[in-house]
Every structure is written in structure tokens, then in C-alpha cells.
Amino acid sequence: MAIIPFDDRDGTIWYDGALVPWREAKLHVLSHGLHYASCVFEGERVYNGTVFKLTEHSERLVKSAEILGFTIPWSVAEIDAATEAAVAAAGLSDAYVRPVAWRGSEMMGVSAQHNRIHLAIAAWAWPSYFSAEAKMAGIRLMWAPWRRPAPDTAPVASKAAGLYMICTLSKHAAEQQGYQDALMLDYRGYLAEATGANLFLVIDGKLHTPTPDCFLDGITRRSVIGLAKTRGIEVVERHIRPEELAQAQEVFLTGTAAEVTPVGEIGEHRFTPGRICETLVKDYDTLVRSAVRAAAA
């Protein structure tokens, strides 16, 4: 299948207050965000024309920027409106949305106190993060060669671009060895997350998930925890040792792109997607569709 470059597409992108032709949404090669990773972003999904939990994503984008020491010059409400404008202009009923904010090119060096802050929002059609066949069978994960950093070594509560460098390295290593993704440990050696999704284990009917104290507490993660509790499934957030995977009957990932994705293999461990995985996959699909209907009402 031919790859369509993301810089050579039809359509428009919301860029610093206006919709501009897709191919003209450019930044300078000496932008601070490129050289020093002073950049934050979001990943959002559109279902039947409506962005799921849009305001929560916009709020997190603003917070992520504040953690990196800059202020996005648009309010949460204005970012919501800009996102809706970008989605409407794209004319897609089901899509992925990428808001991104970064420091510009006024100063080039570690210090960038006077750099302008830019914001862009793009929307495009994007199929399931994993193929339907792989998802139904449970995807295969290897152990990542990198660990999530400690909170005193990186701004771990921000969805910052620089924090994803080790995710790309780990994802590439996994794909080169025939896996779909990689499972990362944290700096202490506990289970953390996959390269772009949170982790859940089913152990004896209870749902266990790592405490997000050095990685993002995902919006999808919180949604799924709510769904599980509604079903009467006990949810335990705690530090989980790698060897505890041997006790798990089911494992799945959650994320905006991944949604709810069952896992069939992590390193030497094997799992069979079962009742809880199936229930939460269906419940999450119902949730995003019902949220769309509620927004349209």
C-alpha cells in the first residue's frame, strides 16, 4: 500500500486562528519545538462527526503546556471551537484529530522566553490502530528496551512530544521483531504502559492497572475504569511487578487510538481475551456512540 505523506494532502488545517490549506500549514526549520522538544499535543477521536470528550482533551492540552512553562494563547473553549471547525472542514464522520502547540523560532537556544506559541489542529481519516484480525486475536507485545522516566527527571504529567522519543524507539524495535507493540516498565521496574496506551490486567475477576505516577493517566483509561465499575468489576490501581503477569487471565490496552485492545502475548506470557475484555470492548464502543448521540441532542 502506497504511503500518503502527511505534508502532501488535500484539505485544511486550523493554524493560529484560521483554516489554511493543508500543504501551507508549515513552520520554520529553526522552530524551538523541533530542536528542544518544547511541544505538546493531543490525540482525539471523532465518532459520527463528534469529538469524544473534546473538552477534557483541550483542558489536558492547556495543562501540558503549562507544565512545560508556556501558555497557549487560546482558551479551552476557543480550542474546542477550533477543533470543531477543523473537523467540520475535513468533512469526516469518523476521524482522528491532532491538536499540537509549540514554541516558535524567535529565539534559538535552550532559553526561549520570548518565543511565540503556535497552535495547529488537523483531522484525518484513520482506521483502527491495530488490524481487526490482530485485535480479535489479541495483539503481541515484546518487552520495551526503554523505561518510563521518574517524575523528577522529566515532566511526566505532560503529553509532551519529547517523552515519546523512547516510545518510537521501543515501537520500532517491536515491529522489527514481528510484534505489534512493546510493554514498558517504569524507572522502578514496575509495569507501566505500552508505547501509546495504558495497561489493564484481569486477575481472578478483578481489574488491575498500574498507578499512573510516571506516565499519563489516559482519558480513555479513566473512561474504561468508569465502565468497569458500572459493571460491578472491582478496579485496583497499584504498582504491579512484571512477574505478576503470570497470574493474569486477560490483558488489554486502552487509548484514544487503541480504544480497548485485547493482548494475547507479552514476552513469555500468553493470554486469551475473555469475558471482561469482550464486555469492555463493547461497552466502550457503546459509550463513544452514546456520547455522540447525547452531543447531538
Residues forming the active site: 159
Give Cα 255 to chain centroid, integer Å: 5
Q: Please state the three-class secondary structure of the chain as a single string.
A: CCCCCCCCCCCEEEECCEEEEHHHCCCCCCCHHHHHCCEEECCEEEECCEECCHHHHHHHHHHHHHHCCCCCCCCHHHHHHHHHHHHHHHCCCCEEEEEEEEECCCCCCCCCCCCCEEEEEEEECCCCCCCHHHHHHCEEEEECCCCECCCCCCCCCCCEHHHHHHHHHHHHHHHHCCCCEEEEEECCCCEEEECCCEEEEEECCEEEEECCCCCCCCHHHHHHHHHHHHCCCCEEEECCCHHHHHHCCEEEEEECCCEEEEEEEECCEECCCCHHHHHHHHHHHHHHHHHHHHHHC
- Contact 70/103 with Cβ under 8 angstroms? yes
Q: Which of 171, 223, 172 is nearest to 44 (CA)?
A: 223
- Contact 259/221 with Cβ under 8 angstroms? no
Cell of 125: 481519516
Q: How far apart are CA 11 and CA 86, in angstroms?
A: 10
